[in-house]
Amino acid sequence: MRPARAGRLSGPELILHGVSAAPGTTVGRAVVLDGTGANPSVTVPPAQRGEEGARARRGLEAAAAELEEIAKELRRDGRDDEADIVETGVLMAMDPGLISRVDTLIAELGWQAPEALREAADQAAAELALLQDPMLALRADDVRSVGRRAAACATGALKRATEGVLIAATLGPADVAELAQKATGIALAGGGVTAHAAIVARSLGLPMVVGLGAGALEIEDGEEVVVDGDRGILVRRPDAQRVSVARGKAENRRVARETAVARRLVPAQTRDGHRIRVLANASTVAELHEADQQGAEGVGLLRSELLFLEAPTWPSFKEQVDVLRPVLSRLAGRVATVRLFDFGGDKTPPFLRGARARGIDLLLESPAQLKTQLAAIVEAGGGTELRILVPMVTSSGQLRTVREMLGPVLGGQRAVLGAMIETPEAALRATEIASHADFLSIGTNDLTQLVLGFDREQSRTAPVTDIRVLRLMDATMRAAHVARIPVDVCGEAASDPKAMPILVGLGVDELSVAAARVGQVREWVRKIDFSAVEKESERLLHQAGHAGRQSI
């Protein structure tokens, strides 16, 4: 453990780039956990290795007992799904294979118990990470977490104060659940957005950035850092302005969540009575739980590809049902919008590397796999108000093909089919596409990126109020209303305080936002006057002249 160093380090800001795993921004003192693995320095004499092995086993037993207690606390709080995840750590701690590895390192190599526990866990995790089953591969971080916990138990180390930003190589779900009461954010050198720690962090509303690289482990205990879970960055030596902004955002987030939970049953409608349905972008049970707490009326975007980004082959029917059912089973009678695999671009799994197509174009190149996914969605979504969303649509012909494939797998169930409008081409063809769709969904991130020529990261904060983008969204909404079908926005703009009122003024029917932002968006809707934002949207559309609008 590094010695604590309080205060801000001198020098300019240093920004470490990673990947957003849970939204939000926070500032705090770094709490650097021991996540660097084993570092044997002392060899245990042969005569003492038996006792050292017993010490290691006591460490594993103590770790298992701690995990059982954490799971009990989660169940008392009604968080059964997270408890189930944590309880798998108990089985890992008692795994004969792990125990055998530990015994070998101690008996044959003379390693001390803490080092042997961490090394054995690292070896087991490395093997899991190589498995073809993506669900099992995700357990690698959980195994490392068990090894770290058992090592701490074996040394009799006291639990550390955890108020601040947790910094580690990786974390398991029990680590997050246990430490989250005081933690303000999480930053990991490794990890992934679909790992269990990230799932738990999202459910708890903790900003989290993963994939920061080894530079994150150079941070000192007590160093002040900013974690920006919206942009996927960690900032060392943050300047005073950045710190002030981060603190303001953290406090606003806390107050907004308390308000959202208290007002979750109050309808999301404007002061003059215009109703807007606020849905959640959610892919896990944890996110859905948070969305429910804040009053979401269903799911407007379930990204089906997220848990399969490391898959070596197309996922089977059973694998897809196993992933979807835990979420969709909790949406009985409510809107459940499942997007087909949006593979391609920056979301290309190993088996599709080299593919040039994206979204529906890529899926149509593998019709058998598309049929499998449609069948899995219908199977898992029984009892919900199921909606299937087709990504990167550019023509009505694509929708017709998907609808033809969908018919035979419905088995008497009802499902509606929608198109994502996320390219200028799709927006220009919105009237044609709307005539064959049951609803439209505007993906503002990609649309803004393509219209303004930004990369994907820039598009997250790009000005969707740019007149070129607004006109394409307006054309899409008008096409949907002429076709008498609903239109929603599921991109970052839906939860942007400047863009959201404009979207309402343009006529959006639904806003689908990150689970942690549902309550805030509902509150924003209640504070605006529809007639006023409608007039303002019209003013913005015409500010460059009527002739420009006709060029859409």
What's CA 88's distance to the chain center, in Å?
21
Nearest-angstrom CA–CA distance, 369 and 165: 42
Architecture of domain 271-550: Alpha-Beta Barrel (3.20)
Most confident of 16-30, 69-83, 186-200, 447-461: 16-30
Indicate the pLDDT class of residue 32, thresholds 50, 70 and 90.
confident
Residue 61, pLDDT above cutoff 80: yes
Residue 423 pLDDT: 93
The three-state secondary structure class of 14 is strand
| Residue 282 and residue 325 in contact, taking contact as beta carbons nearer than 8 Å | no
379: amino acid identity, one letter: E
Q: 3-class SS at 485?
A: coil
- For β-strands 233-236 and 19-22, DSSP reports them as unpaired
pLDDT over 70 (residue 8): no
Per-residue confidence (pLDDT) for residue 6, from 0 to 100: 39
- Domain map (residue ranges) of the chain: 14-248, 271-550
Please check whether residue 141 is in contact with residue 95, taking contact to mean a CB–CB distance below 8 angstroms: no
The answer to whether residue 428 scores a pLDDT higher than 60 is: yes
Rounded to whole angstroms, the Cα distance separating 118 from 152 reads 10
Catalytic residue among 153, 274, 436, 490: 490
What is the pLDDT at residue 514?
85
- pLDDT, one tens digit per residue, over 129-172 is 777 665 566 677 788 889 888 988 888 765 554 678 999 888 87
Q: Is 542 a catalytic residue?
A: no
pLDDT of residue 260: 84
Is residue 378 within 8 Å of residue 411, measured between CB atoms?
yes
At 491 the three-state DSSP class reads coil
Give residues with Cβ within 8 angstroms of 330, minimum separation 6: 285, 288, 292
The pLDDT score that the predictor gives to residue 122 is 86
Give me the catalytic one of 196, 274, 289, 436.
196
Q: Does domain 14-248 fall into CATH 3.50.30.10?
A: yes
> Among 33-37, 212-216, 480-484, where is mean pLDDT lowest?
33-37
Q: What is the pLDDT of residue 21?
A: 86
On whether the CB atoms of residues 389 and 420 are closer than 8 A, the answer is yes
Hey, how many other C-beta atoms are within 10 angstroms of the C-beta on 107?
A: 16
Confidence of residue 70 (pLDDT cuts 50, 70, 90): confident
Q: Is 0.75 surpassed by the pTM of this model?
A: no
Structure tokens that stand for 109 in this block: 């190599």
Mean pLDDT of 267-281: 96
- Pairing, β 19-22 against β 224-228: unpaired
User: What amino acid occupies position 415?
Assistant: A
Higher pLDDT residue, 20 or 82? 20
The average confidence (pLDDT) of the chain is: 86
Q: 17 exposed, middle or buried (CB, 10 Å; 0-12, 13-18, 19+)?
A: middle
Active site residue 196: yes
Confidence of residue 460 (pLDDT cuts 50, 70, 90): very low
CA distance 509 to 488: 6
Query: In this structure, what token pair is assigned to residue 512?
Result: 């689908």
pLDDT of residue 137: 63
